[in-house]
Amino acid sequence: MQRPGRADRLPGRFFSTHQGPQRVTTRPENIMSELVNTSEVAIPAVPNKNGKINLLDLNRQQMREFFKEMGEKPFRADQVMKWMYHYCSDNFDDMTDINKVLRNKLKEVAEIRAPEVVEEQRSSDGTIKWAIAVGDQRVETVYIPEDDRATLCVSSQVGCALECKFCSTAQQGFNRNLRVSEIIGQVWRAAKIVGAAKVTGTRPITNVVMMGMGEPLLNLTNVVPAMEIMLDDFGFGLSKRRVTLSTSGVVPALDKLGDMIDVALAISLHAPNDAIRDEIVPINKKYNIETFLAGVRRYLEKSNANQGRVTIEYVMLDHVNDGTEHAHELAELLKDTPCKINLIPWNPFPGAPYGRSSNSRIDRFSKVLMEYGFTTIVRKTRGDDIDAACGQLAGDVIDRTKRTLRKRMQGESIAVKTV
């Protein structure tokens, strides 16, 4: 076989002439209907502007296909992945168990390029928030160290289409989906930084939660391969119980997810009835609570990662959804859905029309749920002094972000569209 040269001389699906991802222009209200027809296989990686394939865009199956097209054995792909993810190496010359001819070939046609950290903030509680550049915009990634674990909160989109009223990210609007390399690259970058500092010992990240900016189920074609790399033994090697995807209720995509991968599931419920949820989580007008919970139960039937129950996320909004009557209603709502419940004190952001529930109201709400037999946890707020807490991630979304911030500065109301 003739030795491959530069990328433009290599055949096959990895070497098209397409020059990178196109900006997403789909209107938010059309995203859900288009998603149903989304392919269950991630779009093959395409060369960057420099004509090279970013290997962070490839899961193990795709990596092996890439090496096969170069005339190499599949085990070479495994070797490279081990260097990439076990040692966080982005330099082919570091890979000393790979012969020099192959290393030089890889340098001609491929690269390992994770998005760069452009700003770091450290909280008094040890939480770290990184602003990460993705093209001309930013997303935010949060590292939360604890005594027995180190959790990374990862973004899946630039902005968010769902426009939940209590969430800072949602007020920016939606710009585009992140690529596989931009999602797994957040984990790679964090592992490299934390590992170099030797903050947590041999495993710098023990848990990943897809709870950052964006709705993960609206970016399945990139989120699923990224999570596959998180789980892969030649990737980050995390247990499926330690990778959690959180969704606000894109039910058709939730059904697809159950056929594609098995990870822990958390759902952003936040209301005990449709009237309240329609107001604060607009996607509920398309997929109401009954439809959402039915989809959750279908997922649980397929999943081992959840150990038979889902995590319910419930943000506590003062005198909106936090009364004892709401707690009784929530308990009745969830009686047929095996779950544990996380109560989340709301984290404020400029211009938001809500207040955080008092500790006494949260305590009463929690006691009602526990009387019904639900495992109920009040989430400890982490990183709120650097706007890294739940619902506070903002990043930097072009155009619409600036208009929204101007409205906040001027005290104008922010319209929330129906999705």
CA distances from 236 to 149, 208, 350 (A): 15, 10, 37
SS3 26: coil
Q: Tokens 């929330």 sit at which residue? A: 416
Using CA atoms, how far apart are residues 103 and 365, in angstroms rounded to an integer? 59
- For residues 156 and 222, what is the distance between their CA atoms, to the nearest angstrom? 8
Cα–Cα distances (Å) from 42 to 25, 84, 137, 163, 201, in that order, read 19, 20, 23, 26, 33
d(CA 287, CA 292): 6
Crossing angle between the packed helical segments 220-231 and 60-69, to the nearest 10 degrees: 90
d(CA 261, CA 396): 30
**CB–CB of 329/269 below 8 Å?**
no
Taking the alpha carbons at both ends of the chain, their separation in whole angstroms is 53
Q: Looking up tokens 């209200």, which residue turns up?
A: 29
Q: Give the catalytic positions in this structure.
A: 140, 390
